[in-house]
Amino acid sequence: MPTPPYRADHVGSLLRPKPITEARKKFFEEKSISADELREVEDREIPGLIKMQEEVGLKAVTDGEARRSFWHYDFMGMLTGLDLEERDDGVQFAGVKLRPIFPTITSKLDFPADHPMLDHFKFVRDNTSVTPKISIPGPSAIHFRTAPEDIAPAEYKDLDVLFHDIAQTYRKAVQAFYDAGCRYLQMDDIFFAYLCDPKHRASRQEQGQDPDWLIDQYAWMMNEAIKDRPDDMIIGMHMCRGNFRSTHAAEGAYDPAADAIFNKTGVDVYFMEYDTERAGGLEPLKLLPKGNKRVLPGFITTKTGELEDMDWLKRQFEKASEYADIDQLGIAPQCGFASTEEGNAITPDDQRRKLELVVRTAEEIWGEV
């Protein structure tokens, strides 16, 4: 079996099957079924998601994040020392607001040996004949998404101490997933892209934080977490500008973060949003070092069902190859299809056609998936 990185890939989340959506409502809202009954529905439906990914020709598959509500908060809330609180106001996206979940750091951070997502990964591992992959939020999510007033431990007022403990927490997570058989771990660190947005940069400056310093610190945390991983473990990282019901939360070219992304994180595979002008130009790809690292530009959007034209996609890769060796490129959609359980404004058929297009593009350009 081929091993990652692959030419064709996807970010991780998929539209939730209707039975899972209904079961989650019964469990979380109506309180009419047990956790075991919810898990039975998930265990019954997720193999269908895995099979769909295999059928379109992908060589790496996920559980579609179907056991989660959010791409990031569920993982974070399962850490030692971090709780999720629901309040009155949510994060603002373009035209809509995210459900009001707020991470709070209550004690020293750690990765527990029984973190539920280890079992989520094992289920995919045991139900696929290709490479099982899991996507988790990168280290920066803990700092970027937690307000200073929601950090209780006094020692964490010193960001150096906080960043050290976040990195060590993730270092344990990387080893735990490896021990569970994971050889392809994706850590989504979208806040590198957020810190390229003038509005988000200004917001951080108002809080007394230099956005460029933060970019370097986030890169240090990622590198610290993964630098001692075994040689046969591939690390991917997705970067985008928000994805909630087909809306976005940030914009701005990658230029302020490109050097840190490519040269300071230690990551192997980069999933980069490139489906609209919000992402800026392809010039930052020139900072990708020669070698084995791979960038998967997200020219194919998950926000709408309209299929991109193959000739247009080929032209985009011609432009990209002016800045990075075509042999160091691949193709993936710009983001997941359901960063939250609500999902984007597309249909399951749209989703399948998009993934088929990803595979077909890889075959057309590189002759392989």
Q: What is the 3-state secondary structure (H, E, C) of 36-56?
A: HHHHHHHHHHHHHHHHHHHHH
Q: Are strands 134-137 and 184-188 parallel, antiparallel or unpaired?
A: parallel
pTM of the shown model: 0.93
The one-letter code for the residue type at 189 is: D
pLDDT band at 27 (very low <50, low <70, confident <90, very high): very high
- In angstroms, the CA 144 to CA 29 distance is 29
pLDDT confidence of residue 241: 66
The one-letter code for the residue type at 252 is: G
3-state secondary structure at position 145: coil
Tell me the mean pLDDT in the region 197-201.
85
Q: Which of 154, 184, 345 has its CA nearest to residue 268?
A: 184
Q: Which of 241, 229, 323, 314 has its CA nearest to residue 276?
A: 241
Q: Are strands 269-273 and 294-298 parallel, antiparallel or unpaired?
A: parallel
3-state secondary structure at position 185: strand
Q: Which of 98, 94, 70 has its CA nearest to residue 250?
A: 94
Q: Are strands 101-110 and 80-86 parallel, antiparallel or unpaired?
A: antiparallel
- In angstroms, the CA 137 to CA 240 distance is 12
pLDDT band at 97 (very low <50, low <70, confident <90, very high): very low
Point out which residues pair with 187 in neighbouring strands.
136
> Over 80: is that where the pLDDT of 54 sits?
yes
Q: Is 95 left (phi over 0), alpha (psi -120 to 50) or beta?
A: left
CA distance to 126, 141, 251, 268, per residue, from 208 (Å): 47, 18, 22, 32
pLDDT confidence of residue 89: 63
pLDDT band at 199 (very low <50, low <70, confident <90, very high): confident
Helix axes 35-56, 348-366, angle to 10 degrees: 40
- In angstroms, the CA 329 to CA 61 distance is 19
> Over 70: is that where the pLDDT of 230 sits?
yes
Tell me the mean pLDDT in the region 9-15.
97
Q: Which of 160, 137, 162 has its CA nearest to residue 152?
A: 162
Domain boundary assignment for the chain: 18-366
Query: Which range, of 138-152, 183-197, 213-227, averages the lowest pLDDT?
Result: 183-197
At the topology level, CATH places domain 18-366 in: TIM Barrel (3.20.20)
pLDDT confidence of residue 288: 97
